[in-house]
Chain A
Amino acid sequence: MKTMLGRTLREVSAALKQGQITPTELCQKCLSLIKKTKYLNAYITVTEEVALKQAEESEKRYKNGQSLGVLDGIPIAIKDNFSTSGIETTCASNMLKGYVPPYNATVVQKLLDQGALLMGKTNLDEFAMGSGSTDSVFGPVKNPWSYSKQYRERRRQKPHGENEDSNWVITGGSSGGSAAAVSAFTCFAALGSDTGGSTRNPAALCGLVGVKPSYGLVSRHGLIPLVNSMDAPGILTRYVDDAAVVLGMLAGHDPKDSTTVQDPVKPFTLPSLTDVSKLCIGIPKEYLVPELSSEVRSLWSKAADLFESEGAKVVEVSLPHISYSIVCYHVLCTSEVASNMARFDGLQYGHRCDIDVSTEAMYAATRREGFNEVVRGRILSGNFFLLKENYENYFIKAQKVRRLIANDFVNVFNSGVDVLLTPTTLSAAVPYLEFIKEDNRTRSAQDDIFTQAVNMAGLPAVNIPVALSNQGLPIGLQFIGRAFCDQQLLTIAKWFEKQVEFPVTQLQELMDDCSSVLENGKLASMSLKQ
């Protein structure tokens, strides 16, 4: 039973196969942690009954020696913007409270077909619009690291004893619920979504691996869209290998999503790189912005040094149009949001107001009551950009800039660069009270700065947790790969992961309950020490 929750997917799978633990026992461990960490607000819906029933079936399969594969019996969580058949799917919005979809998103179905156990639906910024997981109708998500021994010990050293409860830090977003769920060991993997960084950003702030696959590699069918042309289902795990297992299961053509690749994709195992001397790592100079915290900057350069010292070629590269990415994204995102949100009119499903004097009055009141200010603001901007008189000046221009940004990446990769190494966030997670001093739009613009352009270009990218900050909070770095070279990207990320030896969270709940989890946890002892 040792260190079960801290293991990799393949290790747990082997344990399940060998009967060291049963799927039901594993499921109950996770359920118990979900209850103990309820204050994190990671889950909107906990599907305890569903999970236990699935565990029971999985157990039967294991007993009969008919396991479905690595994911059979593995607890997972799904961001609450993926459609789940028979399970409420809210997008953290009043608009969809009580909405129970009749179908599963393709990625959800694929995970269930592999025997994964669905623990629940995780919290997010309303309709995935945000970078803090603070703008949910169900309240903000708290970063598990706020309650870690690592963070608390360092806070205590501070002279003025602040109220501990008010010091909790955000998870990042918008997939903060999924990040918190994995980070708090309530599941082994979680699905997020990533439109401008919504998987990589919380992964960085919660010390996780966060993969944003190439656009078109993984089906979007059933993912309630933010920006269709940039959305990608994201994967949050504690290890690169785990993310590779899940990605291998999810990747491939889906007849229900016309934008997925036609070629078949097979599940893959990442090789263990021993030699990086043939690699070329690009360091885009535009990512060195004044707002970048010194801690992150220093880790970034240490990481580059690490590659160089191991024989890799590290070159400075330029993505000249990247600085326009955020404004450009604002136009394209809000335009698609305005369009995508048009269906929420209270007629077919979701919230409907009581006003019935006219259809128009009903639409207006329903949408006012159903959407928060952030969503309404984006709808309004988007409709403005799409007006006939503005279309040319905003939407068309933004599309052209998007093309320039995508071409910047193509040029860099054509010059021989294998992957780009960049920061994922400006700094480690900030306290909630600090974060909400600025509005959602400002925060999103700041926080998506390193992640967003990747979505414009449809490239794969991954956050790898690197080290803890002086505050004891995780910092991550981002690798960006060539389109559809997700496997190569993860292979390099895996090598890097091994070098940095990121520490395990030391949560009170885990210490009390299953201290064994943390047996191999190391206290901030890394090769990339500050």
Chain B
Amino acid sequence: MAAPVLCSGCPQRCWALVWVYGRCRHRRGAPVGSTCNWMRGQSSVAQQPLHTARKPRKGEPEWAAVVGLEIHAQISSNSKLFSGSQVCFAAPPNSLVSFFDASLPGTLPVLNRRCVEAAVMTGLALNCHINKKSLFDRKHYFYADLPAGYQITQHRLPIAVNGSLAYSSCAGTKQSQMTTRTVRVKQIQLEQDSGKSLHDDLRSQTLIDLNRAGIGLLELVLEPDVSCGEEAATAVRELQLILQALGTSHAGMAEGQLRVDANVSVHRPGEPLGIRTEVKNLNSIRFLAKAIDYEIQRQIQELENGGEILNETRSFDYKLGCTVPMRDKEGKQDYRFMPEPNLPPLLLYDTASLPAGADSQQVINIDQIRERLPELPRVTRERLVQQYGMSWDHSFTLLNEVDLLAFFQNVMKETRAEPKKVTSWVLNTFLGYLKQQNLAVRESPVTASALAELLDLLDSKAISSSAAKQVFEELWKNEGKTPAQIVSEKKLELMQDQEALEQLCHSVMQAHPHVVMDVKGNPRAINKLIGLVRKATLSRADPTVIKTILERKLSS
């Protein structure tokens, strides 16, 4: 059955907004240079053939892009927004559907407290003003996976407004500098998710799964303060981390727990904003960046070729790497918003306005939620940098990989090793092994305790760092041995016997007289001798000790 394209986003966005001039400009042809240099050429902008466009008239300003994001985050909650049905990803189709979810006549919505708390918490984390009174509305459209014929949302008076999302990225040659930008959060509203339609084109039928129908969503409407794909991607990534830190959403894009639509337009600074398109079907952060940058370039080319931009919905085709118009035969929909009569206004309180003797089960205290706010990613990174002397870059990596920060902190708890050493081991060795085998942190064969023990051995100079690598490799095989066991079995202890070491140095020098000769002319040739000695010790000796012995012997 043919079906129209659904626009689940906010329908009539207004664009009376400030364009922040001077960032991320899209200059025709010429490389963008300093303004967007943190894009590192990986975005499609760099690959776009722009030379086909006509030359700019003299004095014509360059193009500026305006990108607004609408984000739907599925609330992490045991039950749905207005019904008691369980929420569970990938459950058998239609196994989590209450009478209300199936819109049986006579059923009524009952607001889930947890979802409200999640919305308040997210609002607070994004510096929003929390509305002490918010309202629910019905948004009408006919679609097979919307059983009631309307979605309950917050159109007139959402739960949170006027916030901001700060997002940072590392820049500079060594990724050592950090730049922070802000995108304003227009509003956060609570609303129902729809079900899923599975189109079977072969048999020309549509199958409906209502498991998702009625799950609580946070719709976050961001102001169009973003001007290119990379900025959008970074902002969304930061939001993802915040939601995960709060526990208000799992925020997985591949699982559909975080869905991003981008409104894109281009114009010449000083001129009115251009006509926008809405880009949908963005199921990863990478595609989000790609799709936005493609769309910006497409619009610029279209306009420069004398064409016009249609106000349309476009889908990102990740195989072709481009956006294509979506079938939308309904045209502009009028959602016929109406107040939801079955839900009284949602009232929230703070400690000052809390009615005396109120049942704590019946009221939500904003201040109490504020006190429960966990550390936000930005603060965590600052703490890591200050506490451990870590680079910004490293702090980003630690937070960006799921569970990696916790792993790092667990290692830190149990080891005497220097934070820098731990950081290096976690980010280089440990993460390297994970990436190589495409494993998640929680799937790692090496536990934080094992790595901590290994680093202790290294720290106490019981083993050399190359021996440590060997031990790590053994640990990775996951044969249930502790680092200490591996060290003793493989005889990897550092050679502490000075006499034996002197003897070894002596033998090596005797066996390689020409290298000894080289050292006389080139002092750096001693490294070769050190290497030879280490090889003879099976890498069990401390190179600095070897060096001392060799230098003494050479000068004598």
Contacts and interface: CB of A to CB of B under 8 A. Distances in A.
B342 A363 contact: no
Interface in A104-135: 105
Interface in B1-59: 1-4, 12
B178 interface: no
Nearest to A342: B149
Given A255-B110, A258-B343, A343 B1 contact: no
A277 to B, nearest CB: 39
Interface in A301-319: none
A386 interface: yes
B206 interface: yes
A259 B342 contact: yes
Interface size class of B (residues with CB under 8 A): 35 or more
Contact of B148 (A102, A343, A388, A395): A343
Nearest to A104: B106
A339 B108 contact: no
Contact of B147 (A225, A343, A395): A343
Interface stretch (B136-144, B259-267, B272-280, B516-524): B136-144
Contact of B106 (A222, A255, A356): A222
A105 B106 contact: yes
B109 to A, nearest CB: 7
Interface size class of A (residues with CB under 8 A): 35 or more
Interface string B329-367: 000001011100111100000000000000000100000
Interface string A339-370: 10111110111000000101110110000000
Contacts of B337: 386, 391
* Chain A residues touching B, majority SS: loop
B439 interface: no
Interface stretch (B96-104, B286-294, B540-548): B96-104
Contacts of A255: 110
Contacts of B2: 358-360
B138 A96 contact: no
Contacts of A105: 106
B208 interface: yes
Given A228-B341, A356-B1, A101 B140 contact: no
Contact of B344 (A82, A259, A363, A383): A259
B105 A343 contact: yes
B338 A103 contact: no
Given A258-B111, A386-B336, A101 B106 contact: yes
A258 B110 contact: yes
Contacts of A96: 105
Contacts, number: 110
Contacts of A221: 106-108
Interface hub of B138, B147, B149, B362 (most chain A Cβ within 10 A): B149
A228 B342 contact: yes
Interface hub of B2, B102, B107 (most chain A Cβ within 10 A): B107
Contacts of B104: 83, 101-103, 348-349
Interface in B126-184: 138, 140, 142, 144, 147-150
A348 B144 CA distance: 9
Contacts of A527: none
Given A220-B108, A258-B110, A358-B1, A338 B336 contact: yes
B81 to A, nearest CB: 13
Contacts of B108: 220-221, 256-258
A336 B140 CA distance: 12
Interface string A150-175: 00000000000000000000000000
B148 A342 contact: yes
Given A359-B144, A360-B142, A83 B103 contact: no
Contacts of B105: 83, 89, 91, 96, 99, 101, 224-225, 343-344, 349
Interface string A465-503: 000000000000000000000000000000000000000
A440 interface: no
Given A345-B142, A388-B334, A83 B106 contact: yes
Contacts of A356: 1
A451 to B, nearest CB: 20
Contacts of B138: 339
A387 interface: yes
A386 B137 CA distance: 12
Given A220-B108, A259-B344, A386-B336, A359 B149 contact: no
Contacts of A257: 108, 342
A228 B138 CA distance: 13
A185 B244 CA distance: 64
A223 interface: yes
A201 interface: no
Interface in A56-102: 82-83, 89, 91, 96, 99, 101-102
Given A225-B106, A359-B206, A339 B338 contact: yes
B336 A383 contact: yes
7 nearest CB pairs, A to B = A342-B149, A386-B336, A228-B341, A229-B341, A224-B105, A222-B106, A343-B103
Given A229-B341, A256-B108, A256-B110, 7 more contacts: A83-B104, A96-B105, A258-B111, A338-B140, A338-B336, A345-B149, A348-B103
24 contacts: A101-B104, A101-B105, A101-B106, A103-B104, A222-B106, A256-B108, A258-B108, A258-B110, A259-B344, A342-B140, A342-B148, A342-B149, A347-B208, A349-B104, A359-B1, A359-B3, A362-B1, A386-B336, A386-B338, A387-B334, A388-B12, A388-B334, A388-B336, A395-B338
